[in-house]
Structure 1
Amino acid sequence: MNSIPNPKLYELTRSIANWYFSTFYDYTQSGKENIPAKGPVIFAANHVSFYDPPAIGACLHRQINYFARDTLFKGLFGKGLVQIGTIPVARENAEVKSLKAIFKALKAGGAVAIYPEGTRSPDGLLAEPKPGAGMIACKSRATIIPVRLFGTYEAYGRQRKAPKIGGRIHIAYDRPMTPEELDPGKQHPERYLEASRRIMARIAELRMPSEVVC
């Protein structure tokens, strides 16, 4: 069982994204050794840019299910999104449909990328999380990899109409968080929000190293 319908097309798309970031940016990573080779994984990242989804996984051979607006799923491009395992986010019933797709991917042993803040930061700074990511983490019992993106806001933040070429983009992958580490338990009055806060606290601790050996 695979959460990516067409792994070969996904790998081609990933390779192109990796070439793009490596060619036009100083694209580096740290902590890739923390990523499990198999089993359900949630990449929980800060969200500051249009670049975030491809930047998270372009350098990884672990295939990831991403999200895209349902309006993009049209024609040949839409079919391609489906084939590489992209999860559509609908304007109506978005939460229910997206959650079902997330849990289905994780149940298949796949990986998904989610953003505890829920939306792109307007200024590149970390924001307060929403309970959704914590709920997914607690219910799925998947391994959580906190991820922090550096430089993607400067390159293509939500205020930019076009990307700025050049500059450094760094992706930091933290050590895994176990379900026991992030879940405060069913008796906690804000169980899911507290889980999201714990994830965001780990993201906030990540720093961009001064020197990276790729």
Structure 2
Amino acid sequence: MTTTEAPRTRLKPQAYRDPRPPEHFARYHRRARERDPDWIYELCRFVLTPYTVGFYRARARGLENVPPFGPAIIAPNHFSFLDHFFVAVYLRRKVRFVAKSQLFKPPLDFVLTHAGVIPIRRGVVDEEAFTSALTVLERGGLVVMYAEAGRSRTGELGRPRWGLGRLALESGAPVVPTAIVGTERARDWRRLRFPQVTVAFGTPMAFERVERPRRQQSQRASELVFERVRELHTRLRAERSRR
């Protein structure tokens, strides 16, 4: 099996801490908890679907594994900002993403807020983000949380973090392990290179609900989910190398 090359496009350094105080994000969390995504979500889907499906020839597998109703967590690997769109484009349900707080700056914050995105402050235990995500799940919503808690910048899968496991255990919602292949080269659009992208939704995983899981419990749950993600990802890349 040939190994996919890491992205060659120069990447901006990641900012792991947001200097803004937690109070700055209160209005975003309030809206995420009280209101569903509105027409902005549908507009983004309408505008971006031709781009993701046309240029990147995006394909989806295992759509039947995503619950048609009720709470669920989609847990993909993460290479690119475009992963949000590739995950959501084929789903009939509106999904609520947990995204880094640094994205919530004008004018993008208007789009993110109306699209139902939940901000999370990296580098700290952001209780408000977990409360917002749990509120959405309690209302029967669909939440996307990346197992790696950030983008892998090597072209290879990163390692799972405990946040996904905590959300799964505290909510008791089924978790859909999801693999995305191709977006590790998605930044090459500047060189007019658009790699084909495939998204595979795996069989949902069930966890017994734990009201206050320990960090070790949460980490173990994340690892179990990511093992499935890794299996799906490895299978997709093996298929691609045989073409």
TM-score bracket for this pair, using the shorter chain length: 0.7 to 0.9
State whether residues 3 and 65 of structure 1, in contact with CA within 8 Å, keep that contact through their aligned partners in structure 2: no
Structure 1 Cα separation of the partners of residues 205 and 146 of structure 2? 15
State whether residues 48 and 152 of structure 1, in contact with CA within 8 Å, keep that contact through their aligned partners in structure 2: yes
Amino acid at match of 1:172: A
TM-score (norm 2): 0.74
RMSD: 3.0
Structure 2 Cα separation of the partners of residues 202 and 36 of structure 1? 18
State whether residues 4 and 84 of structure 1, in contact with CA within 8 Å, keep that contact through their aligned partners in structure 2: no
The answer for unaligned runs of 5 or more in structure 1 is none
Q: How much has 1:6 moved relative to structure 2?
A: 3.6
- What SS does structure 1 have at the residue aligned with 2:227? helix
Correspondence for 2:135: 104
1:29 matched to 2:66? The reply is no
Correspondence for 2:173: 142
Structure 1 Cα separation of the partners of residues 58 and 205 of structure 2? 25
Q: How much has 1:105 moved relative to structure 2?
A: 1.1
TM-score (norm 1): 0.83
Correspondence for 2:194: 166
State whether residues 40 and 111 of structure 1, in contact with CA within 8 Å, keep that contact through their aligned partners in structure 2: yes
Q: How much has 1:80 moved relative to structure 2?
A: 2.6
1:15 matched to 2:46? The reply is yes
Correspondence for 1:203: 229
Q: How much has 1:46 moved relative to structure 2?
A: 0.8
Amino acid at match of 2:203: R
State whether residues 170 and 212 of structure 2, in contact with CA within 8 Å, keep that contact through their aligned partners in structure 1: no
Percent identity over paired residues? 30
Number of corresponding residues? 206
Correspondence for 1:194: 220
1:177 matched to 2:208? The reply is no
Amino acid at match of 1:166: F
